[in-house]
Structure formats: structure tokens, C-alpha cells
Amino acid sequence: MRDARGNRRQPIGLRLWLSGGWLLILACAAIFAPLIAPQDPLAQDLFSGRLPPFWESGTEPGFWLGTDSLGRDVLSRMLYGARLALIVALVAGTLTCIIGASLGLIAGYYRGWPDRIISRFVDIWMAFPPVLFAILLIAVIGTGLTSIILAIVIIDWTRFARVIRAEAMGQGAMDYVASAQVAGRTRFGTMLTEILPNVLPTIVALLTLEMGIAVIVEAILSFVNLSISTDAPTWGGMISEGRTSVHQAWWVLVFPLITLFLTVLSFSQLGEGLKDRFDPVLR
């Protein structure tokens, strides 16, 4: 009665390698930014404005990826930008996930009045235009790292709540949940030991996706000058600056843009890859 599907382990796919690798590099860059950044990210030098990247003519040593119109080093700003991007991704992503997933789990598994309250709340919440909401919030409590994180949590917890609610509802109807209850388990215990492990792959996928979204939202807010402060080194801020001088100095726009793109892509690919890996049925 042996089964061919046995205990075979899937090798880590290329997708996981690439996305995980890029994020690891980024994390290192963020952690060690003060050590590896060749210049001070805030130091302006109007005499060395718009220096091109190292392979073009007219460069100066130490400014590998060129400088912006105020003479700030693009590479150093990007390294420090990784710090802000990753802090926002981790903190905002995790908070959003914890709040949204808990509410979704409770609504989907308990049903009844907890579900009615939470679902109604989600519906009302989603009737607000989210970006307007975030801008309003920042207008009220001011710009800064905390308000960006808050804005992301406020906009996006409903995504977790809705998806996890649906999943928990499906799992809750399965016979193994009934069996656990017949065996005398409490409802809360059943939720934690039976339902949660089964929705975990989805939570992980949503979480990493959310981290990517957090990076984008932070960039958008920087782009419209609602992020941390005008000269703080953020990717969004750099993109917004680079946009105005793209004909004279394309590198100010292109390097942060590519980094942003790769990062967001990596987050979503990492999520998908992890989901496949954690899901015992797909594994």
C-alpha cells in the first residue's frame, strides 16, 4: 500500500531563489547602509550636480550611480531608501496581517453575530476611497514614518479580513473540524489548532504581497510629497525628483524605479513560492 507520492521534497524553485535572494541583498543593504554607502545620502554639493553613472564620461570617483540635481549621491540615497522601504514593508505588512487575519478568522469560523459585525464593518470601510482616506489621515496627524504605516494598515486590513474569512468559512465546514469538536475541543482551541494551520499558506502569501504593496504605497506617498520629509532618502521621493530632470539625468529616475519594481515583484513571487511550499496538498 505504498504511495508513490511518499515523502518526496520539492527542491526550492528558481522563483524562490531569485526573489528571496534579491530581498536578502536588499535587507543587507538596509542594515549595513551606513557602512557601505560611499557618501552621506543627505550631503548636497551643487558643484557636482547631475554627475552621470560610472561608465559614462565626466564622472567623479565615489559617485557610482551618479548624483541628482542637488549633487546627492544616487547609490547612497538608494541604500538608505532601502531602510525606509523595508521598515515600512515589515511593520505595516505585519500589523495589517495581524489585524485583518484575526478578524477574518473570527468572522469566518464563528459566523453568527461576530461575523455580522465584522463583515458590516468591512463593507462600510471599503465604501471609503482608500487613498483619499490615507491622504486625509496624513493631513490630520502629519507626515512621518508612523503615519505612513498607519495609513497602510488602515487602507489594507480589509483585504486580509475578506480573504481569510472566506477561507476559514470553507475550512470550518469540513468534517475534521466537526470531529475535533466532537472530541470535546473548545471552539477557540479548534480555531487555533485546526483552522489556522490550514489558512496559514494563504496568510503567508497575502503577507508578502502586502509588503510589496506597502513599498508601493510608501513610494506613492513620497511621490506626492506626503512621506517622511522632502529630503529624506526614499525611493518614491527620488523617482518624483528624477521625473522632472529625466532628459538631463535619466539615472536619477531609472535606478530607484528598477529597484522598486524588482522589490515589489520579489515580494509577490516570494509569497506565491512560499504558499506552494507550505501547502501540504500542493507540496
Partner 1 sequence: MRPFLSIRNLSVALKNGGLILRNVSLDVAVGKVHGLVGESGAGKSMIGKSVLGTLPRALQITGGEIWLDGVDLLSIPPAQRRKRIGATAALIPQDPLTALNPTRRIGPQITRRLVDILGWTKADAQARALELLEEVQIADPARVMRNYPHELSGGMRQRILIASAFAAKPKLIIADEPTTALDVTVQKQILRLIADMQARHGSALLFVTHDLGVVSKVCDALSVLYAGKVVEDAQMRRFFCRPVHPYSRALLAATPTYTNPTGSLMPVPQSVIDAVEREVVQHDRRWRA
| List of residues contacting partner 1 (CB under 8 A) | 1, 3, 5-7, 111-112, 173-176, 178-185, 194, 197-198, 200, 280-281
- Give the residue with the Cβ less far from partner 1, 193 or 225: 193
- Give the residue with the Cβ less far from partner 1, 8 or 247: 8
Q: How far apart are CA 240 and CA 122, in angstroms?
A: 33
Closest distance to partner 1 from the beta carbon of 175 (Å): 4
- Give the residue with the Cβ less far from partner 1, 6 or 11: 6
How far apart, in Å, are the Cα atoms of 195 and each of 39, 171, 186?
A: 51, 6, 13
Closest distance to partner 1 from the beta carbon of 110 (Å): 10
- Give the residue with the Cβ less far from partner 1, 101 or 249: 101
Cell digits of residue 64: 557610482
- Give the residue with the Cβ less far from partner 1, 15 or 111: 111
Angle, alpha carbons 156-161-167 (nearest 5°): 135
Closest CA to 272 of 200, 171, 204, 197: 204
Closest CA to 159 of 210, 201, 112: 210
Q: Partners of 73 in the beta sheet?
A: 67
Residue 137: Cβ within 10 Å count: 17
CB-CB contact of 51 with 63 (8 Å): yes
Closest distance to partner 1 from the beta carbon of 166 (Å): 16
- Give the residue with the Cβ less far from partner 1, 58 or 184: 184
Closest CA to 261 of 237, 231, 239, 230: 239
Cell digits of residue 215: 513599498
Closest distance to partner 1 from the beta carbon of 118 (Å): 16
Closest distance to partner 1 from the beta carbon of 283 (Å): 8
CA 226 to chain centre: 18
Closest distance to partner 1 from the beta carbon of 33 (Å): 39
Q: How far apart are CA 165 and CA 101, in angstroms?
A: 8
Closest distance to partner 1 from the beta carbon of 19 (Å): 24
- Give the residue with the Cβ less far from partner 1, 7 or 10: 7
- Give the residue with the Cβ less far from partner 1, 198 or 240: 198
Q: How far apart are CA 256 and CA 260, in angstroms?
A: 6
* Inter-residue long-range contacts of 113-116, CB under 8 Å, 24+ positions, other chains counted: 115/165
Closest distance to partner 1 from the beta carbon of 186 (Å): 8
